[in-house]
Amino acid sequence: MNTASKKSRVCMFSHYFPPHYSGAAKQAISLAHQLKKRGHSIEFITVKWPGLEAEDNFEGFPVHRVESGHGRRHKELRLWWNLFQYVLRRRKDFDILHSHGAYYTNSIIGPLARLAGWKSLVKASLANNDLHGLGASLTGKVHYRFLKLVDAYIAISRELGKEFLSTGLPARKVHYIPNGVDIERFHPTTPEERLNIRRMRGLPEKKKIALTIGVFDQRKNIGWLLKEWVRKSAFGTGAMLLAIGPQSREDVDGSFLGSLRKMAEENPDILYLMDHVNDIERYYRAADLFILPSYSEGMPNVVLEAMASGLPCAVTQVSGSEELVQDGETGYTFRAGDTEGLCEAIQKILSTTDTEGGMGARARRLIEEKYAVSIVAERYEELYQRLINSN
């Protein structure tokens, strides 16, 4: 019997979950939809933030929220206790406990799954972050011991795979499964559709549009991109930079985002800011190229989405992005914070006629072959069954 035909009952844990913006949760939901199509049962468990219901439903998936501590120190202990109670209550309902994140707080899924008789996976979301300090302090030692009880570690990039191996955790448990993207939702467009989208959204019809998407925080580095775009007068391209994203949780009073909005208001010909939107796929189809200025990533969802939409990309040389973007093939890379490198990448992309066989087309083809979420879901499906059968 083909083990992939067996159906798994999966509980997915994500620390942040809608309505809170989270790239990890975004990936989790996309994967869950694909697994559900294949007949698997998926539920989510997450942190209960003020104003949210303990029991909820999101896009057809049951969502269970549990309280975390509210103090400055060791607030994870209350979360862990509540997760323990939940797992104990539902111990007959699941086969797999799948954490979207391999942080210290997330590592509790190792012992919890063992107690319930389930199998467990942790997916590291961010290079030099999820596993930072592993084994180096008291919390680092707890983190390490808990992760040793996890059955599988998911590296979404080659760099994260090396990071897992460098920790001393069992190499046999490390699996390379990159993030995926819905290639039906994110797809290339025609010049006519691009023009119609621009007209409907009030975007310039004849200008080139460079798109960047992400939380307006320090790691994503979008503030630097906007400032350099204005300071260098769009790098002489005459293009407009369209920046879309939510306010950072770090920007409590909104002062940082407010300063960026003021900059956009003062430079309306070359800069436009928007809040996060649900129909983000339309804005990819309105653009001519995509820019990722981040200092750190795991495997950036936005680059996957941009490439699936047929956009050449200018990206920083961070985890995941260098696997996706090869210079001159699907775009160009530059060092984070390197203005001249950014300028060169943008000018090379905009000076190249992106014909049917150009960078955008090659980007789309790469995504179809390796990063479609259906392909990624199949790999998870196979891993789930191997873990379950290992009993």
Distances (CA, A) of 229 to 112, 287, 303, 312: 48, 16, 20, 18
Instruction: Give pLDDT tens digits for 344-383.
Output: 999 999 987 665 569 999 999 999 999 999 999 999 999 9
Same-domain pairing of 321 and 379: no
**Residue 66 in contact with residue 48, Cβ under 8 Å?**
yes
Q: Are the C-beta atoms of 288 and 191 separated by less than 8 Å?
A: no
Residue 239 confidence (pLDDT): 96
Both 97 and 241 in one domain: the answer is no
Token pair 């007209």 is found at 199
Q: Are residues 127 and 250 in the same domain?
A: no
Q: Domain range spanning residue 223?
A: 191-370
133 and 217 assigned to the same domain: no
pLDDT tens figures, 225-254: 999 999 999 999 999 999 999 999 899 999
Collect all residues with Cβ–Cβ distance below 8 Å to 327 and sequence separation of at least 6: 333
Note whether residue 306 is domain-resident: yes
Task: Report pLDDT digits (tens) over 121-131.
Answer: 999 999 999 99
Residues 166 and 251 reside in one and the same domain: no
**Count of Cβ atoms closer than 10 Å to residue 186 Cβ:** 22
Domain membership flag for residue 61? yes
Which stretches in the chain have pLDDT values below 50?
A: 1-4
C-alpha span between 104 and 108 (Å, rounded): 8
Angle, CA of 351, 352 and 355, to the nearest 5°: 145
55 and 70: one domain? yes
The answer to whether residue 186 sits within a structural domain is no
* Together in a domain, 224 and 199: yes
pLDDT tens-digit map of 156-187: 999 999 999 999 999 999 999 999 999 999 99
- pLDDT for 66: 96
Residue 336 belongs to a domain with what CATH number? 3.40.50.2000
Give the separation between CA 391 and CA 387, rounded to whole angstroms: 7
Q: Are residues 240 and 160 in the same domain?
A: no
Count of structural domains, the chain = 2
**pLDDT at residue number 2:** 45
Same domain, 87 and 213: no
Same domain, 341 and 213: yes
- Tell me whether residue 216 is in a domain: yes
Whether residue 195 is contained in a domain is answered as yes
DSSP assignments along 6-40, one per residue: SPPEEEEE-SS-TTS--HHHHHHHHHHHHHHHTT-
Q: Are residues 223 and 146 in the same domain?
A: no
Q: Is residue 185 part of a domain?
A: no
Residue 97 forms part of a structural domain? yes
Instruction: Write down the pTM of the prediction.
Output: 0.93
44: β partners? 12, 63
The beta-strand segments (E) located in the chain are 9-13, 41-47, 55-58, 61-66, 96-100, 119-124, 152-155, 174-176, 209-213, 240-244, 271-274, 289-292, 313-316, 331-334
Q: Is residue 96 part of a domain?
A: yes
* Dist CA 142 CA 67 (whole Å): 21
Residues 159 and 43 in one domain: yes
